[in-house]
Amino acid sequence: MNISILSVFPELYKPFLSTSLVGRAVQSGLVSFHVQDFFSYSEPKERIDAPTYGPGAGMILKPEIVQKAIEDCENQRGKAFKIFFSPQGKKLDQPLARQLAQQLAGKHVMLVASRYEGMDTRVEEEYADLELSIGDYVVLGGDLPAMVFIETFLRLVPGVVGKEESVVCESFSGAFLDHPEYGPPVVWKDQEVPEILRSGHHEKIKQWRHEQAARKSIVRRFDWVRSHAGSDKDRATVARLLPAHYAALMHVDIRLPHDQIGTTSVTSLDIHDIARSACTYGIKNYFVVTPLSDQQRLVETLRSFWMSEVGIDYNPERHEAVRRVQLVAQLDDVVAAIREKEGIDPLIIATSARPVGGRAETITFNDHEKVFSHNRPVLFLFGTGRGLADVVFERCDYVLIPLEGFSEYNHLSVRSAAAVIFDRWLGTTGKREGN
Ligand SMILES: C[S@@+](CC[C@H](N)C(=O)[O-])C[C@H]1O[C@@H](n2cnc3c(N)ncnc32)[C@H](O)[C@@H]1O
């Protein structure tokens, strides 16, 4: 492996390239580095940077300096795959690192580390085979990103890390983060190493580690899990370990004009469609909440058809969805039913088409960790008519931001909103294995 680095500060690389596993990889001949100084391509006393065009005080590397450095490097060491570092580039993650480790094995790779305001766009367009970002933040220059890339990349080069297993079973290599690690002493600050790890029972330890890793990943990085748990096994693990989710459609405690609170009528479409969405996203029960006896009779009639032999025969999938519909009179009944099943009250998350003030904290669709770390069942509340009344928001733990697009129109039906919310909160975002 042959890695060239073009930099404004080549001295930064001396200790880095001679220390620890990177240094050992160089000594053992697995990789060779060649660091080139952009200043070698300027005339004496010539600056290598110039002010950018347009307002602002930015400086960038001169294109002709970068051109000379790249051409000289390729003349000396052969054609290279050129990686430019930029916060605007493709984000480096473990799957991309693995792909690059395969694609670039044994090749000449050139890392171009910029400074100042970055690179002249024309230079990137002309030379970059890949623009790479190390994350959604901006550091002073491309040297730390180059070093981050080198460490990530080299550990995937066979022979660089002693035990191959260390780079196979680790965070971001599959659907889950790495499992928790413990070492001696057995008791430290009154905390004991879990007994199972000292049992010597390898198969049980493996299972325990998998379970711990999956649990932690679901709470901390549901964004990663939902896009990488594509195998049947991982999907089943996530389904088993996700907090139990419930939904309720409120036809009581609904906002009316002049600060009144009232009820609304049920609709068969909302019962069917929300039940089907709920079933699709693994919602355990969907409660229809109405205290009105005539409305209750309607729900019962519809439900009993789908629970009857005729209904099951007619459309078994619809039966499967409507089976989860539970009719109750008040929100208290919903909470009590969940408490009875789960042994603990649910966290209540209200939904609303408009921003809501008040006691409950507003959360976004990226706040899984906040919600999941409570380790409690989750109940989504949907309003009908003009939306949930303030008395309902007052007893919720969180309120979800309103669903919105980049338009000023915002009149989703509750069944559409429920489907979108279930998908944004619980839906997978990656490929399923075999698809
Ligand atoms: C101060 S930054 C320029 C940032 C640029 N003005 C922007 O906002 O996109 C200077 C150089 O640091 C490097 N750099 C900074 N943050 C980076 C990141 N997150 N990933 C990769 N390179 C980065 C790049 O080489 C970049 O050209």
What the block records as the tokens of 148 is 């981050």
Encoded tokens for 360 = 């409950």
Q: Whose C-alpha lies nearest to ligand 1, atom 1?
A: 140
Distances (CA, A) of 175 to 280, 306, 428: 21, 37, 12
Report the distance separating Cα 194 and Cα 205, nearest Å: 10
**Cβ(71)–Cβ(65) below 8 Å:** no
Using alpha carbons, select from 22, 17, 48, 19 the residue that is nearest to residue 34: 17
For residues 329, 331, 334, 340, the Cα torsion angle rounded to the nearest 10 degrees is: -110
Backbone angles phi and psi of 423, in degrees to 5: -70, -45
Instruction: Take atom 27 of ligand 1 and give the residue whose Cα is closest.
Output: 118
Residue 295 CA to residue 290 CA, distance in Å, equals: 7
Angle between helices 293-307 and 268-280 (to 10 degrees): 50
Q: Kindly report the CA angle at 416 between 411 and 422, in degrees rounded to 5?
A: 125
Residue 76: exposed, middle, or buried by beta-carbon count in 10 A (0-12, 13-18, 19+)? exposed
The preferred substitution site among 138, 143, 152 for testing ligand 1, maximizing ligand atoms within 8 Å of CB, is 138
For the CA of 135, the closest atom of ligand 1 is: 19
> Which of 7, 12, 85 for a ligand 1 pocket mutation test, highest count of atoms within 8 Å of Cβ?
85
Ligand 1 atom closest to 88 (CA): 9
N-terminal to C-terminal alpha carbon distance within the chain: 35
Closest-CA residue, ligand 1 atom 22, reads: 86
Q: Give the per-residue pLDDT at 358.
A: 83
Ligand 1 within 6 A of CB of 135: yes
Name the residue at shortest CA distance from atom 11 of ligand 1. Answer: 141
Separation of alpha carbons 371 and 376, rounded Å: 8
pLDDT at 435: 74
Closest to 358 (Cα-Cα) out of 390, 381, 317: 390
Is 51 strand, coil or helix? strand
Q: Whose CA is nearest to atom 7 of ligand 1?
A: 87
- What are the per-10-residue average pLDDT scores of the chain (435 residues)? 96 96 94 97 92 88 96 98 97 97 96 92 97 97 98 93 75 93 96 96 96 97 97 97 98 93 96 97 98 98 96 95 97 98 98 90 98 98 96 96 95 97 98 87
Pocket test for ligand 1, best of 119, 121, 132, 139 (most atoms within 8 A of CB): 139
124 lines ligand 1 (CB under 6 A): no
How far apart CA 426 and CA 114 sit, in angstroms, is 40
Atom of ligand 1 minimally distant from the CA of 119: 27
